[in-house]
Amino acid sequence: MKIKYWLLGAALMGSGILSACRMGGNGTKIEVSSNRYEYKFSARYNSDITPGVEQYINEQIKPTSILNSQNHRVDLAVILADHTNFNIKSSPGRLDIEMNKKDNTGQSYTRVNNLCAGIRNFILSQPHEKH
């Protein structure tokens, strides 16, 4: 019986370690926080994939396009066509999105949450080695 608990504990620890490596072991770190008032998404990743992250975001918020600067730096308050509004701050290898929930509808919250989940999936699907 003790062996079963030990194996279960080892398996859980192993999956936690793998998850931590995936999220932060090679420079990639993604954090999401949400409370009654605000939603925050923060990502640090290989700066080589910054153009891909920008392209993904622009595809998701069409017809609005906010990330098209040559130096890949943005600090904006964004209002989309459906009145979803949020703040975005981006530089190579860094992205922060913040949304005030009281200034948005539930549908807007879902849209931003889905956008950030897609960004997370995009970042984690990319090679993590720094060049």
Q: For position 71, what pLDDT does the model report?
A: 76
Tell me what pLDDT residue 128 has: 62
Residues whose CB falls within 8 Å of the CB of residue 53, separated by 6 or more in sequence, listed in order? 43, 45, 67, 90, 95, 119, 122, 123
| Residues lower than pLDDT 50 in the chain | 4-22, 24, 131
Instruction: Count the Cβ atoms, other than its own, within 10 Å of residue 77.
Output: 9
Q: What is the pLDDT of residue 67?
A: 76
Check residue 70 and give its pLDDT: 74
User: What CATH number is given for 27-124 in this structure?
Assistant: 3.60.90
